[in-house]
């Protein structure tokens, strides 16, 4: 069964080009021209991947708002921002919403198809890991379950996004070992990540742990290099 993709783009010509390119690569594509139509459609039938513009008709940040709604509906749905807005602030904002990628226009349609294919390979890898039922990682008060992609601290669940889960899992797999910024950029599975973006993810992870344990201090900063999980 072919993969399903939802495209949300208010420019009719661009929307048609994206649809044609992805259909030619074997995907089933549903296209929307604005946020309300897209949200209504995806509530009825959730796609395997969503591609969102940010500016949608008269909504300057319509794509960001749609992404938030989709995250509440489907926390693990792969989302790509495809937009003309190329500022670092917009990129960081998009990635903080846990988008899997941020691509700026104009885009080579072949590149878009290849990037979509790459993200689906990541999805397949995650599904395979879940099917094989990996062992739960237990490290002191930490419990990381790669099957449900959940994290607990002192028995209390930490509400992490998918990218935050990947980062915690990567750090905890080798306590005491320094994960460089370059290592952690690869862990996010995103094509564009800066150091400040990684720092932002870590700040939010720490905050979430401290909400259940104010004394939490297991993620150590190695200044200028990266982070590590403190060994017991």
Q: Which of 50, 44, 3, 61 is nearest to 27 (CA)?
A: 3
> pLDDT tens across 68-114, in order?
999 889 888 999 999 999 888 888 788 778 888 889 899 999 989 98
Please write the tens of the pLDDT for every residue from 194-203.
888 899 899 9
Per-residue confidence band for 116, with pLDDT thresholds at 50, 70 and 90: very high
Cα(123)–Cα(126) distance, integer angstroms? 5
Residue whose structure tokens are 């995103």: 190
**Residue finishing a domain among 130, 155, 177:** 130
- Tell me which of 130, 154, 185 is where a domain ends: 130
Q: To the nearest whole percent, how much of the chain has pLDDT over 70?
A: 95
Same domain, 56 and 26: yes
Query: What is the β-pairing status of strands 79-83 and 137-139?
Result: unpaired
What is the CATH classification number for the domain harbouring 160? 1.10.10.10
Domain count, the chain: 2
Q: What local confidence, expressed as pLDDT, does residue 98 receive? A: 82
For residue 3, pLDDT over 70 is answered with: yes
> What is 91-153 written as a DSSP string?
HHHHHHTT-SEEEESS--HHHHHHHHHHHHHHHHHHHHHHHHTPPPEEETTEEEETTTTEEEE
103 and 159 in a single domain? The answer is: no
**pLDDT surpasses 80 at 191:** no
pLDDT in tens, 134-181: 678 999 999 999 877 789 999 999 988 778 899 999 999 999 999 999
51 and 125 in a common domain: yes
pLDDT-derived band at 132 (thresholds 50, 70, 90) equals low
**Residues 22 and 76 grouped into a single domain:** yes
pLDDT of residue 44: 94
> Quick one: 94 and 175 in the same domain?
no
Same domain for 96 and 11: yes
Same domain, 163 and 208: yes
Cβ(42)–Cβ(73) below 8 Å: yes
Work out the number of other CB atoms within 10 angstroms of the CB of residue 196: 11
Same domain, 15 and 121: yes
Give the range of the structural domain holding residue 114, as residue numbers without chain letter: 4-130
Burial class (CB in 10 A: 0-12, 13-18, 19+), 116: buried
- What is the structure's pLDDT at 62? 95
For the cut 70, the answer to whether the pLDDT of residue 192 exceeds it is no
What would the pLDDT profile of 60-80 be if each residue is shown by its tens digit?
A: 999 999 999 998 898 889 999
Check whether residue 45 and residue 96 sit in a common domain.
yes
Q: What is the reported pLDDT for 149?
A: 79
Contact predicate 52/63, CB 8 Å? yes
Q: Are residues 119 and 169 located together in one domain of the fold? A: no
DSSP 8-64: E-S-HHHHHHHHHHHHHTT-EEEEESSHHHHHHHHHHS--SEEEE-S-BTTBTTHHH
Pick from 114, 130, 146: which residue ends a domain? Answer: 130
Give the per-residue pLDDT at 129.
55
Entry pTM = 0.65
**Cα 146–Cα 208–Cα 148 angle in degrees, nearest 5:** 20
Give the long-range contacts of residues 88-92, CB within 8 A, separation 24 or more. Answer: 88/194, 90/54, 91/192, 91/194, 91/197, 92/194, 92/196, 92/197, 92/200
Contact indicator for 78, 102 with CB cutoff of 8 Å: no
Domain of 124: which CATH number?
3.40.50.2300
Between 204 and 162, residue with greater pLDDT: 204
Query: What pLDDT is recorded for position 175?
Result: 93
Average pLDDT along the chain: 90
Does residue 1 have a pLDDT over 80?
no
Do 116 and 36 sit in the same domain of this protein? yes
End-to-end alpha carbon distance in the chain: 47
Which pLDDT score, from 0 to 100, does residue 124 have? 81
| Res. 133 pLDDT band, cuts 50 70 90 | low
Same domain, 116 and 207: no
Coil, strand or helix: which one is 198?
Answer: helix
């Amino acid at each position: 069964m072919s993969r399903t993709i939802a495209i949300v783009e208010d420019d009719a010509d661009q929307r048609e080009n994206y649809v044609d390119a992805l259909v030619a690569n074997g995907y089933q594509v549903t296209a929307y021209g604005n946020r309300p139509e897209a949200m209504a459609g995806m509530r009825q039938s959730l796609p395997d991947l969503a591609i969102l513009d940010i500016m949608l008709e008269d909504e300057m940040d319509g794509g960001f708002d749609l992404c938030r709604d989709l995250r509440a509906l489907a926390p693990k749905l792969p989302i790509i921002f495809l937009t003309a807005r190329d500022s670092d602030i917009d990129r960081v904002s998009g990635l903080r919403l846990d988008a899997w990628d941020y691509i700026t226009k104009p885009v080579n349609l072949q590149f878009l198809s290849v990037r979509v294919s790459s993200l689906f390979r990541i999805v397949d890898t995650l599904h395979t890991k879940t099917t094989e039922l990996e062992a739960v990682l237990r490290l002191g008060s930490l419990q990381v379950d790669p099957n449900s992609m959940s994290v607990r601290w002192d028995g209390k669940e930490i509400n992490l996004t998918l990218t935050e889960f990947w980062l915690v899992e990567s750090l905890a797999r080798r306590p005491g070992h320094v994960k460089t910024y370059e290592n952690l950029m690869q862990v996010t599975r995103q094509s564009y990540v800066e150091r400040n973006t990684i720092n932002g993810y870590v700040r939010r992870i720490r905050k979430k742990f401290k909400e259940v344990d104010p004394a939490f201090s297991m993620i150590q900063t190695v200044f200028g290099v990266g982070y590590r999980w403190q060994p017991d």
